[in-house]
Amino acid sequence: MAGHGGARNRSGPTASPTSARSDARDVRAKKLPVGGYDGDFPPLSQLLPDAVDREGAVWADLWRTPQAGQWIKEEWRHRTVAMYVRWLVRAEDPEATAATITAAQRLADQIGMTPAGLRENGWLIVADDSTTHPEQQQKHEAAKSRGAARTNGGGRRMRSVPDGG
């Protein structure tokens, strides 16, 4: 029977890249530059030979987003991005059905175009200079030390004990 037992996508709380527990498990978000991707990208005609002009325009726009920097490294995602383009253009039609809009939304999540999709992929969009900017580094180190101070090193929270003992 489908739908019984086992882990599911988005089941339970997601790992927070800023928590002490995530630091201990080395869970870190992949930082994507807010400036986007400016390299070459595959032609849409290889994936959707019958693409219309609007799909070509959306495809080109998508490949300038921060997420595209990851897509280019993961060739297996290219077809999913192309399908997102197809369904997104269909969803733009005022007569689009709920099923069409839902399909576009699910694909948007898969390729990281929504906040939920970014979390699911373990991506974080950051200012281009935040990884080298001293102020940002200080904030990151302070957050890391605050997180480490809240646990006893074994992952369990510390609690106060009355003075009497």
> How much is the pTM?
0.67
Torsion angle, alpha carbons of 10, 12, 14, 15, to 10: -140
**Each residue's pLDDT tens digit, 149-161:** 445 555 566 667 7
Q: Are 80 and 47 in contact (CB under 8 A)?
A: no
Question: Which residue positions in the chain have pLDDT lower than 70?
Answer: 1-27, 128-159, 164-165
**pLDDT for position 156:** 61
Euclidean distance between CA atoms 70 and 73, whole angstroms: 5
Residues 6+ apart with CB under 8 A from 124: 17, 29, 30, 31, 32, 118
Residue 33 φ then ψ, to 5°: -70, 135
The confidence score (pLDDT) of residue 146 equals 53
Residue 162: per-residue pLDDT: 77
